[in-house]
Amino acid sequence: MFRGSFVALITPFKDGAFDEAAFRGLVEWQIAEGTQGLVPCGTTGESPTLSHEEHRRVTEVCIEVAGGRVPVIAGAGSNSTQESMDLAVHAKTAGADGALVVTPYYNKPTQEGMYQHFKAINDAVDIPIIIYNIPPRSVIDMSVATMARLAKLPNIVGVKDATSDLNRPILTEIEIGADFCQLSGEDGTAIPFLAAGGHGCISVTANIAPKMCADMQNAWADGDVADAMALQSKLMPVHGALFCETSPGPVKYAAGLLGICADETRLPMTEIAEVSKARVRDAIQGAGITR
């Protein structure tokens, strides 16, 4: 079971290329600050603009630096079933603890199409698979019924839920059971998601506030609801600021402010507007986030 604060890692770039040194430093810092799991090559990691070679390298470096200290759930999503199968096989070969597979974007498959997509990946490689259900980016929304069908397969172990529907974790647990791993994909719902039966969060904010995000999850697990809520309240302006424009633009700007890496993104992502920069700066300062 994957639990606690997982970080949806950004991919640092320098002069257009993958900045491996900065990425290694980011992963090491995350572990030192208490992050309980790493997720490279997701949307926050700008996976759509990574070459296949870069995608594999980012995954391999993350696993190497983690060194088994925390689990790595490698992004393996694509709207091409074959490509997603290949990425999942690579994740397994590289030593990942799981694979994060997004619902196929743009193609707009039916519920049956989604089922067959994930079944093909399940059948291709023996690795725990987390379904990434994010209707705002994929357009499609996997139903609880389809997820329940998939949960009967041996490698489908959980979901990253970015629907912002807090009925979902309860309905999913009723339908599938408490052992099905449910991780929030929305920082703003991290605590309500836990209250509804979730097990953790795959967080964008954890890129710049790993200790606070981990402490919040730990406080909830320890039954210290007041501390968990206090941390979430402190972080809420940060969550909002990091999505004032399309992610990962704002979080990369924040990472640049903190000296984690350059704020460089790849087209079609562009530098965020000055008003957005001001909002990110104010939120970071207000929450007392430093490195």
User: 153 with 182: CB under 8 angstroms?
Assistant: no
**132 annotated active-site:** yes
**106 annotated active-site:** no
Provide the H-helix boundaries in the chain: 20-32, 52-66, 81-94, 111-124, 135-138, 144-151, 168-176, 190-195, 210-221, 225-241, 249-257, 274-287
What is residue 72's DSSP assignment? B
* Most distant CA pair in the chain, distance: 49
- Which among 14, 92, 105, 160 is annotated as catalytic? 160
Residues 6+ apart with CB under 8 A from 228: 191, 194, 216, 217, 219, 220
Q: How many CB atoms are closer than 10 A to CB 156? A: 22
User: 214 with 38: CB under 8 angstroms?
Assistant: no
* Alpha carbons 73 and 56: distance in angstroms, whole number: 13
Strand, helix or coil for residue 196: coil
Strand, helix or coil for residue 154: coil
- Which among 92, 132, 252, 253 is annotated as catalytic? 132
* Alpha carbons 156 and 275: distance in angstroms, whole number: 42
* Alpha carbons 203 and 152: distance in angstroms, whole number: 27
* Alpha carbons 248 and 168: distance in angstroms, whole number: 25
The residues carrying an active-site annotation are 132, 160
